[in-house]
Amino acid sequence: MMGKRVGMNGDRAVAFAAKQAKVDVISAYPITPQTIIVETLAEYVNNGELDAAFIPVESEHSALSAAIGASLAGARVFTATSSQGLALMWEILWIAAGLRAPIVMAMGNRALSPNINIHCSHDDAYAARDTGWLQLFAENVQEAYDLTLLAFKIAEDHRVLLPTIVNLDGFILTHAAEGLYVLDDKDVDSFLPPRKPVNPIDPDNPKTYGPLDFTDWYMEHRKIWYDTYPNVPQVIKEAFAEYEKLTGRRYVQIKTFNAEDADKAIVILGSSAGTARYAARKLKEKGQNMAVISLTQYRPFPRKELRTILEKFDVVAVLDRSLSFGSPGNQLFMDVATSLYNAKKKPLLVNVVYGLGGRDFTPRHVEQVYQLMEEVQKRGEAPEEPVWVGLREA
Amino acid sequence: MYVSVKATPIKSLKELPRTEQFAPGHRLCAGCGIPQVVRFALKAVPDPKVVVNATGCLEVATTIFPYTSWGVPWVHVAFENAAAVASGIEAAFRVLSKKYGTKKPKIIVFGGDGGTFDIGFQALSGALERGHDLIYICYDNEAYMNTGIQRSGATPKGASTTTSPAGKAVPGKMERKKNLIEIAIAHGIKYAATMNPAFPIDMYNKIVKAANTPGPTVLHYFTPCPTGWYFDPSRSIEIARLAVQTRIWPLYEYEDGKIRITVPVKDPKPVEDYFKLQGRFRHLLEPENKWLLDEIKRDIEENWNRLLKLAEQK
Ligand SMILES: Cc1ncc(C[n+]2csc(CCOP(=O)(O)OP(=O)(O)O)c2C)c(N)n1
Ligand code: SF4
């Protein structure tokens, strides 16, 4: 039931999942660290292993534009990007979601310029957070593979019909080879039958896609679009449950570790959750109790579930791998703080900045965060400004 | 291989197919040249077909929700990406028709000169280079009209627009117009042509040729804009005709590696005839701008002679 065990890096695992999903159209533009994904898919197509149109577009802007066209035509569509590529797509991200094109996009998370840096930050994921795309975060290569398959299932569900990003930390997951279990093709076929598009472009049944709204309709159309999101978690849960039956691998919106008796918690995204759990285990040996909360589902943001989990803690450290300049807090911190605003009992919240541009994030840093939370608990007051860990001492 | 039904040329306007897939209830200005090319394209290109539209006058005036003027599938995504959206649709239908036997439509793209010459140029170049099966029609009103008459890479030298106003120091746009057709041809496409609403049969038959050509084709359509050029809407076709008769807008086509002038102009009319009817050129007729008028005349002549030479290289 678990499937075959193989060794792959994250990029190849994602490409392999897209191949098994039998995508019809791939639009592709290279950018490190996602390039291997589109290269691998090009190999599949040119070797005849995958019957799909591979569109080698001239920019990310066109990559997403072509993906929308193909998706509206009824095809199962995949693309991938990172960092500046996502930034170039940004205008079109909104349109993909608003036109309800269930494109799946892998994002090898990478820092935005300046200065140019090809390593991991979550700048790109966060930049897409208000555009209507669903976002899932992988913690390891197995998850990158699984979540790619799940993303098609969720995005194309008729209750959802929204484009979906699968985030995988640049280099840490995109380039590191790990052992993972892959499904048999026939199991993927049963989990992901060919897409059944709703209202695809059909010359026998002409429709107008993307018209002009004046003041009399724009707001109503936004309401319809907005109201979709509360229904999405149910679909995600169902997809996770079906996938668990097929693979034995259990996915949840929010992963909790050591949450039962701890009074402090770290909230984190992506591959660093593993590091945090490792460190939490070490701390426990010393009698220090810390929970690790990581989000697999980042958009829609699971605010109620997270509130229920976090309410009981005295101190919560929210770790951001990005900066939001001039904002009251960095991105994940703001999401968490907002989610907790109406909680009956509120933990003290600390914003921690870590790992920018691929800076190593080690168990030592997690311990620093733990010590910081202890101080905050003692003082009964959280620092106003974010605390940086892993910053170089000049 | 590509389109099962062949488009057929016409000899007189009486032969125009009766079917209308572009409803008359659109909100383009009176005297606007855009609806002609749309009607003709929808008549000339056999079903099945899909239209992709860049942002601009055509898009905003024909799809005001909950109304639509389009009797064929119509897609708008953004300003600069119509050619890329069309690429995706074309590629998808190529695969879907192979996998599931879905009918493969011809894709028609409409973009204004801004959406073609400037911001959409990269996407157009990419689509042409990749060889998608589509007809790209640029309707050229020689400025960004939808945002209020700003200059574009297609605005002719000397024209006054809101971002190239005719002033005392700078009398209008000082740069020449890009040559879209030659740029398109340089991509190795099979068919490209210029069109003008005052020569409807010539226009129709060029669209027919594009429809019967597999792969990308580019059609460059002259569209008078009473609002942006400042003329009386009733003179729209007269102005369009003058553009050809003055050799300002040569009608020609590129086919099988050869250029052919489809409407020869033996005795050109004075360019002043064309300029004096339009507010955007009025300043060119003032004595202090004679140097500019002379320069424009030289450009027109040079351009025509170049075209003649290209057309002779048979
Ligand atoms: C990225 C972007 N920049 C600017 C605009 C604003 N805009 C909409 S239409 C338009 C001009 C269109 O000009 P053209 O392509 O010549 O078509 P026309 O309006 O003349 O029909 C502009 C600048 C936009 N929609 N998107
Ligand atoms: S502004 Fe010009 S191009 Fe636009 S609809 Fe009016 S006449 Fe046509």
Distance CA B286, CA B267 (A): 25
pLDDT (average), residues B73-82:
98
Indicate whether A285 and A141 sit together in one domain.
no
Helical packing angle, B82-100 and A60-72, nearest 10°:
40
Q: Give, for ligand 2, the residue of B59, B141, B149, B229 to mutate: max count of ligand atoms closer than 8 Å to Cβ.
A: B141
The pLDDT tens digits of the residues spanning A305-328 come to 999 999 999 999 999 999 999 999
Question: Does the pLDDT at position A48 exceed 60?
Answer: yes
A46 with A184, same domain?
A: yes
Q: Do residues A11 and A175 touch, judged by C-beta distance below 8 A? A: yes
In a domain, A394, yes or no: no
As a whole number, mean pLDDT of residues A348-352 equals 98
Regarding whether A208 and A92 lie in a shared domain, the answer is yes
What confidence score (pLDDT) does residue B313 get? 60
For residue A21, tell me if it sits in a domain: yes
Percentage of residues in chain A having pLDDT higher than 70: 99
A393 domain-assigned = no
Find the ligand nearest to A90 CA.
1
Kindly determine whether residue B64 and residue A70, on different chains, have CB atoms separated by under 8 Å.
Answer: no
Distance A296 CA to ligand 2 centre (A): 50
Same domain, A139 and A213: yes
State how far residue B25 is from chain A, nearest Cα, in angstroms: 15
Helix (H, G, I), strand (E, B) or coil at B274: helix
- Looking at the fold, whether A222 and A288 belong to one and the same domain comes out as no
CATH of the domain at A259: 3.40.50.920
Rounded to the nearest integer, the mean pLDDT of chain A is 97
The residues, ordered by sequence, that sit 6+ positions from B119 with a Cβ below 8 Å of its Cβ are B79, B80
- ipTM of the complex as predicted: 0.96
**pLDDT(B1) > 50:** no
Which of A124-133, B3-12, B212-221 has the lowest average pLDDT? B3-12
How many helices (H) and strands (E) chain A has is answered by: 13, 16
Strands (E), chain B: 49-53, 74-76, 106-112, 134-140, 191-195, 217-222, 252-255, 258-261
Instruction: Kindly state the average pLDDT of the residues A357-366.
Output: 97
Q: Check CB contact under 8 Å for B78 and A73.
A: no
**Claim to verify: residue A68 and residue A216 sit in the same structural domain:** yes
Are A157 and A93 part of one and the same domain?
A: yes
| Residue A358 counted as domain residue | yes
CATH number, domain of A174, equals 3.40.50.970
pLDDT at A169 > cutoff 80? yes
pLDDT, averaged across chain B: 97
Give the range of the structural domain holding residue A119, as residue numbers without chain letter.
Answer: 4-247
SS3 B99: helix
User: If 0-12 CB within 10 Å is exposed, 13-18 middle and 19+ buried, where does residue B266 land?
Assistant: exposed
CB B202 within 8 A of CB B214: no
Domain membership flag for residue A8: yes
Residue A1 is predicted with a pLDDT of: 53
Asked if residue A194 and residue A94 are part of one domain, the reply reads yes
* B68 interaction partners in chain A (CB closer than 8 Å): 208, 211
Mean pLDDT in residue range A338-343: 97
CB contacts under 8 A, B 9-48 vs A, are 47-48
Residue A201 with chain B: CB contacts under 8 Å: 50, 73, 75, 89, 105
Count of domains for chain A? 2
A42/A84 same-domain check? yes
**Of A212, A230, A247, which residue is a domain's last?**
A247
Interface with A, mutate which of B22, B63, B87, B129 (most A CBs under 10 A): B87
pLDDT at A177: 97
pLDDT tops 80 at residue B314: no
In this model, does residue B4 exceed pLDDT 80? no
Q: d(Cα A200, Cα A205) in Å, to the nearest integer?
A: 9
Nearest neighbour of A70 by CB, restricted to B76, B91, B125: B91
- From the list A55, A72, A206, the residue facing B87 with the nearest CB is A55
- Answer yes or no: is A62 within a domain: yes
Domain boundaries, chain B: 11-310
Count of positions (residues) in chain B: 314
Does CATH place domain B11-310 in 3.40.50.970?
Answer: yes
Average pLDDT over residues A90-106: 98
**Model confidence at A339: pLDDT above 50:** yes
Task: For residue B87, give the nearest of A66, A210, A217 by CB distance.
Answer: A66
Atom 2, ligand 2: residue with shortest CA distance = B225
Q: Are residues A213 and A159 in the same domain?
A: yes
Cβ atoms A258, A284 nearer than 8 A: yes
pLDDT of A352 above 70? yes
The residue that leads in pLDDT, A261 or A61, is: A61
User: Does residue A219 sit in the same domain as residue A282?
Assistant: no
Last residue within a domain, chosen from A198, A226, A247: A247
Residues A283, A289, A291: CA angle, nearest 5 degrees? 100
Q: How many helices (H) and strands (E) does chain B have?
A: 11, 8
Residue A58 has pLDDT above 50, yes or no: yes
CA of B274 to the centre of ligand 1 (A): 26
Residue A67 lies in a domain: yes
Query: What pLDDT, in 10s, does the model give residues B261-311?
Result: 999 999 999 999 999 999 999 999 999 999 999 999 999 999 999 999 999
pLDDT of residue A283 exceeding 80: yes
Return the closest-CA partner of residue B88 out of B52, B39, B37, B122.
Answer: B52
Domain co-membership, A275 together with A204: no
CA A139/CA A227 separation, integer angstroms: 29
DSSP labels, B124-188:
HHHHHHHT-SEEEEEEE-SSBTTTTSB--TTSPTT--BTTB-B-SSSBS--SPPP-HHHHHHTTT
